[in-house]
Amino acid sequence: MCEYSSQEGMPNDWHLVHLGSRAVGGAGLVMTEATAVEPSGRISPDDTGIYNDAQAEAWARIAAFIESQGAVPGIQLAHAGRKASMSSPWKGNELVPPESGGWSPVYSAGDEAFADGYPVPQALDMEGIERVKRRFKEAAERSLQAGFRMVEIHGAHGYLLHQFYSPLSNKRTDVYGGSFENRTRLIREVVQEVRSVWPDSYPVFLRISSSDWVDGGWAVEDSISLAKMVGRLGVDLIDCSSGGNVASAKIPIGPGYQVPFAEAIRKDAGIPTGAVGLITEPHQADQILSEGKADLIILARELLRDPYWPRRAAKELGAEIQAPNQYLRAW
């Protein structure tokens, strides 16, 4: 994942992005995605993790290379919850039983499966909740030791933290269920655990699903309230995605369809936001920024389709970016 931004007085350029006292740019921010904080938190057996020292050592080489190229290395910490132990999409996105490399149990706020074909989860008890919080903290510590300078907590797309804050998946009656305050307790406590070991000079992002896209579910107004709360706890930017917690949700997918969430949260919660989702064209991205709808453009799938998107964007927008040394003769 890479992030693009522009600032007043510096249009159409790659540069440092400042969030309070924390800088997160350079030539850009390069971020891993869905790096599991414990084995049972992987989406699939193929997923990466940072729950042991050997993984941290492997990531350290990647983080060092990213930084050597003038970019900032970031890592996204995740726990899949009830969406765990599934095969990779190119392998059919099917349940992987323990005898085939999967695992059991998987965990959630309750005991309801995400959809047919997914594992039936075990509701986390208090000991399990404390373990998850500790795993996020330990993963942040390893990430720092590995050389990452930015961390994002993945609380979106129907994964564990989203399963807790959405009323559609959280039917608990204890202090982690029921009211908005209780349902958001786990994600707020995870933020506090991560921030307790993450330097003040380095930013913490939080990815959320801004809406469940289902009546009676999590809505943008809830996201605004949550953003205000976590902003006071040390979150520097809200990465505004949506959906993923209800298999039957009808999502009106189209170019920039999630940008209004980033705009609303930025305006009403007073916190920087990142826009993501079908942002594919340089002028489209630049307009979102210039109109103040978001502070960052977050690119993931578009960079898989077009790894040279930053070069194309620079050319179309009249900016200059530095070529890798190996490419200078052809630049």
**Residue 92, number of CB atoms within 10 A of its CB:** 11
Rounded CA gap, 208 and 193, in Å? 17
Helix, strand, coil percentages for the chain (3-state, nearest 5): 35, 15, 45
pLDDT digits (tens, 9 = 90+) for 183-237: 999 999 999 999 999 999 999 999 999 999 999 999 999 999 999 999 999 999 9
Alpha carbon distances (Å) from 240 to 7, 71, 171, 261:
20, 22, 25, 6
Rounded CA gap, 126 and 288, in Å? 42
| Confidence (pLDDT) at 7 | 36
Rounded CA gap, 327 and 13, in Å? 20
| Confidence (pLDDT) at 19 | 42
**Residue 113, number of CB atoms within 10 A of its CB:** 17
| Confidence (pLDDT) at 69 | 85
Pair of tokens at residue 187: 């994600």
Q: What is the DSSP letter of 49?
A: B
- Taking alpha carbons only, the member of 51, 106, 63 closest to residue 81 is 106
Mean pLDDT by 10 residues, the chain (331 residues): 41 35 59 96 97 98 93 97 96 95 97 97 98 98 98 98 98 98 98 98 98 98 98 98 97 96 98 97 96 95 92 92 85 83
Rounded CA gap, 51 and 139, in Å? 6
Catalytic one among 51, 118, 159, 165?
159
Rounded CA gap, 232 and 249, in Å? 31
- Taking alpha carbons only, the member of 45, 159, 162 closest to residue 104 is 45
| Confidence (pLDDT) at 277 | 95
Alpha carbon distances (Å) from 238 to 38, 116, 230, 293:
24, 31, 9, 13
| Confidence (pLDDT) at 217 | 98
In single-letter form, the type of residue at position 216 comes to G
Whether residue 159 lies in the annotated active site? yes
| Confidence (pLDDT) at 37 | 98
| Confidence (pLDDT) at 17 | 42
| Confidence (pLDDT) at 57 | 98
Q: What is the DSSP string of 75-103?
A: EEEE--GGG-SB--GGGTS-B--GGGT--
Asked if residue 105 has a cis previous peptide bond (ω within 30° of 0), the answer is yes
- E strand intervals along the chain: 2-4, 18-19, 22-23, 29-31, 35-36, 72-78, 107-108, 122-123, 150-155, 204-209, 237-241, 273-276, 296-299
Q: Are 170 and 109 in contact (CB under 8 A)?
A: yes
- Taking alpha carbons only, the member of 225, 257, 264 closest to residue 243 is 257
| Confidence (pLDDT) at 5 | 46
- Residue 227's φ and ψ, nearest 5 degrees, are -60, -40
In single-letter form, the type of residue at position 295 comes to D
Rounded CA gap, 77 and 155, in Å? 9
**Model confidence, pTM:** 0.92
